[in-house]
Structure 1
Amino acid sequence: MSIVLSPGDVKLRDGRSVDFANLDIAATAPCLRVVADAVAELLPFYGSVHRGAGALSERCTREYEQARETVADLLGCGAGDTVVFTRNTTDAFNLLARALPAGTTVVTFDTEHHANLLPWADVVRLPAPRSAEEAVASLTRCLYNTGKSTLVSVTAASNVTGELWPVARLAAVAHRFGARIAVDAAQLAPHAPVSLAELGADYVAFSGHKIYAPFGAGVLVGRADWLDAAEPYLAGGGASANVAADGTVRWATGPARHEAGTPNLLGAVALATALRALHDADTHEQALVNRLRAGLAGLPHVEELRLFGPEAPRVGIVSFAVAGEDPGELAVRLGRDHGIGVRTGLFCAHPLTRRLLAEAATRLGAVDVPTQAVRASLGLGTTAEHVDRLLAALDR
């Protein structure tokens, strides 16, 4: 039995049925069975969190805070760190942007997902590096000339190319110049354990729906001081410790300060359950990634998108351009004729994807640059047959 929930067979346009090949996992991962079981077990006891009395509220409050402790333990949080539950990675970075001390400059790269590109007010966007070494050198030069409070914010793994970024080295540079670093781990967390210490990160953000917990929760994890000093992300119940008759508000401290309203109990429990399951999971993903990339390299009309060199380490995400094909129509045919689900578009990383598409078109000798790329993303539940079916369909 698969460890993820799956639709099983899907019917093709010619009437045949095949096992659905879900190669769009980087967008939204399917639900782990253990996550579905944890949510189903809790549902009969669903009740208010933090502010209720009685058996239901006591259990739900305990489950919610245990989920927070699980996340903190698995990410290696220290005494000065906190875990704030959010809606997703985008929400987490918007929260952090609101919590920045006045005058803070954010340094990032123009290769980032929009979640880590658009929330910042005072931002320096460094040009796309062509290697890990160039990324480190570029950040070093930038911080050498930045004389004020700085937050560096980078991805751990690209959602376009799957390439791993040298986060630990970038963190060392940031700290050398007195800066902090936030890490977008949305595409790293589904594929590898995330550790604040190993990454050297001050903050980490990721989404539950990327780690096989599609119940609408994400997290912002890291140093508590900026968050404790900031105005609440949302004003409302839970974030307010006391509201006086004259309207004076004393805000809560700790995670509650930024978790106004009824919390997403099921999302938090699902996220923590998935994170623990992934921590113990054993996958064969790298062999499948190598199989896919080698197969694409053998197709003369297909060109992989990449920023770093072909041997750069990566997670199970491969984007590519197909000469002479409309990406949207191609994706429809892959679904209807072959039972394959892929992603097409610019993947909420428009500057990077457009640049890589132009480079791919040049290598293909194409007259027109494709307006979109095709992305195949692998994960738990992906099989060699799924990869081979995609390669055979592209070959035809």
Structure 2
Amino acid sequence: MLTRARPAVTAGPAPDLTVLGGDLPVVLSDGTLTDHVNLDYAATAPCLSAAADAVNSILPWYASVHRGAGAASQRCTLAYERARQTIGDFVGARPDDHVIFTRNTTDALNLLARALPTGTTVVGWAGEHHANLLPWRGTVSLPVPRSAAEAIAALQAALEAHSGRNVLVTVTGASNVTGEVWPLAALTEVAHRHGARIAVDAAQLAPHRAVSLAADGIDYLALSGHKLYAPFGAGVLAGRADWLDAADPYLAGGGATAYVAPVTDGDLIGYAVDWNSGPARHEAGTPNLLGAVALAAVGAALGAADRDALAAAENALVERLRAGLATLPGVEELRTFPDGHDRVGIVSFAVAGVAAADVSAHLATRHGIGVRDGLFCAHPLTERLLADASARAGADLGPTAVRASVGLGSTPEHVDRLLAGIAELTG
């Protein structure tokens, strides 16, 4: 277990929050060159220069982690465990929490699903990303709420009906479809009042807002490096140790074992295993050192930044985009909660009479803009929101939507170019 004494904050140089790829040239359909505009951060964010620098710094020393006495191996082991400490600080882990490196949010939530005590009831909402919808068994599925208050009331009723047993509430921090921020403080309070634990899918929240296990009372938190400017194949599950230490290892293999001995039964052979406790229990195999180091570099950079100022700048971009979309005929934004609800830098919309795939292709080939079209790995939610948007518009908006998402490096000019490209289709 790690002890995380937070150092005193002192004034220093502003962190470098430059992302790579901001000046990539792309060829348009008419043969001209333009700079690429990335408005697809919600799928995979660009790499922060600090993450690339951290990887390049450790690469000459790259060696085994936890398994060697040589200088390179010792250096890499130290870098890996320091990365765990840094990410623990970034997510506000408590002293006795575990910080387990995984591949991504999906992997982290599947790990937690495997670690639940037998008979645990999982309570969640039907509108989750598939990563937080499909791993669970024995789920109480609550309908997609129309407001934050409705979400809180539905959870209250569900927990009253399932008292007296292990219960895990699982919820997104911010929707990957609409960007809307869920009422985590209130949901956490309701869960704890009924003796339940709460797990947060922070894949879309952590890149945009500060989140803290300790300060927010969250029991478990999952995130992905590739959405957090560290696209090197690492994610994290952080949270309370007891369920994780009591569970069978997520993967069986080297690193998870303290001791292995053969056991024979006639001509059959098996193995008696003493499993490690702590994060190592669920990190079998050679760990992703580069992913951990990259993710820690981003955590350190964002941890030293003014997150409120970053959120305010991002909110200005989102409001610019939403206001612009509202002026375009036939364009309808998707939303779960009432207009004006708090959100991060994600906006999904549909254009009446134009297929979502054609919208994204037009933006890419005519304007050099990258967005996403489809159902965004949240099929039940996006289909419901498209039906709602079609009803508001009085027109069938089609089976899929377009999503634009912003982050570090996004500018008002990027938003304006997107709006101009859509205006060509609607004018």
Q: Would the aligned equivalents of 1:155 and 1:183 in 2 still touch at CA under 8 Å?
A: yes
Q: What TM-score do you get using the length of structure 2 for normalisation?
A: 0.91
Q: What TM-score do you get using the length of structure 1 for normalisation?
A: 0.98
Name the SS of the counterpart of 1:325 in structure 2: coil
Cα distance per residue 1:126-165 (max 9 Å; x no partner): 0011111111111001101113210000011000000000
Tell me the residue number matched to 2:399.
Answer: 371
Q: 1:42 and 2:23 equivalent?
A: no
Q: Would the aligned equivalents of 2:128 and 2:171 in 1 still touch at CA under 8 Å?
A: yes
The 1:256/1:379 distance shift into structure 2, 3 A limit, reads same
Q: Which among 20, 24, 33 is matched to residue 5 of structure 1?
A: 20
Tell me the residue number matched to 1:193.
Answer: 210
Tell me the residue number matched to 2:88.
Answer: 72
Tell me the residue number matched to 1:390.
Answer: 418
Tell me the residue number matched to 1:14.
Answer: 30
The AA in structure 1 aligned to 2:402 is: V
The AA in structure 2 aligned to 1:60 is: C
Superposition deviation, residue 173 in structure 1: 0.2
Q: Would the aligned equivalents of 1:168 and 1:198 in 2 still touch at CA under 8 Å?
A: no
The separation in 1 between residues aligned to 2:420 and 2:19, in whole angstroms, is 25
The separation in 2 between residues aligned to 1:266 and 1:332, in whole angstroms, is 34
Q: Which among 254, 274, 278 is matched to residue 278 of structure 2?
A: 254
State the identity as a percent. 65
Give the number of equivalent residue pairs.
Answer: 395
The separation in 2 between residues aligned to 1:276 and 1:332, in whole angstroms, is 37
Q: 1:178 and 2:189 equivalent?
A: no
Cα distance per residue 1:195-228 (max 9 Å; x no partner): 1133320000000000000000000000000000
Tell me the residue number matched to 1:25.
Answer: 41
Structure 1: any 5+ residue segments left out of the alignment? none
The separation in 2 between residues aligned to 1:37 and 1:269, in whole angstroms, is 10
Q: 1:152 and 2:169 equivalent?
A: yes
Q: Which runs of 4+ in 1 moved over 4 A?
A: none
Name the SS of the counterpart of 1:125 in structure 2: strand
The separation in 2 between residues aligned to 1:198 and 1:112, in whole angstroms, is 24
The separation in 2 between residues aligned to 1:120 and 1:304, in whole angstroms, is 30
Superposition deviation, residue 253 in structure 1: 1.0
Superposition deviation, residue 9 in structure 1: 2.4
Q: Would the aligned equivalents of 2:178 and 2:347 in 1 still touch at CA under 8 Å?
A: yes
Superposition deviation, residue 16 in structure 1: 2.1
Tell me the residue number matched to 2:267.
Answer: none
Tell me the residue number matched to 1:93.
Answer: 109
The separation in 2 between residues aligned to 1:228 and 1:2, in whole angstroms, is 36
The 1:98/1:2 distance shift into structure 2, 3 A limit, reads closer
Q: Would the aligned equivalents of 1:192 and 1:279 in 2 still touch at CA under 8 Å?
A: no
The separation in 2 between residues aligned to 1:186 and 1:78, in whole angstroms, is 20
Q: CA RMSD in A?
A: 1.2
Structure 2: any 5+ residue segments left out of the alignment? 1-15, 264-270
Counterpart mapping for 1:176-255 below 5 A: 176-246=193-263, 247-255=271-279
The 1:249/1:84 distance shift into structure 2, 3 A limit, reads same
Q: Would the aligned equivalents of 2:115 and 2:248 in 1 still touch at CA under 8 Å?
A: yes
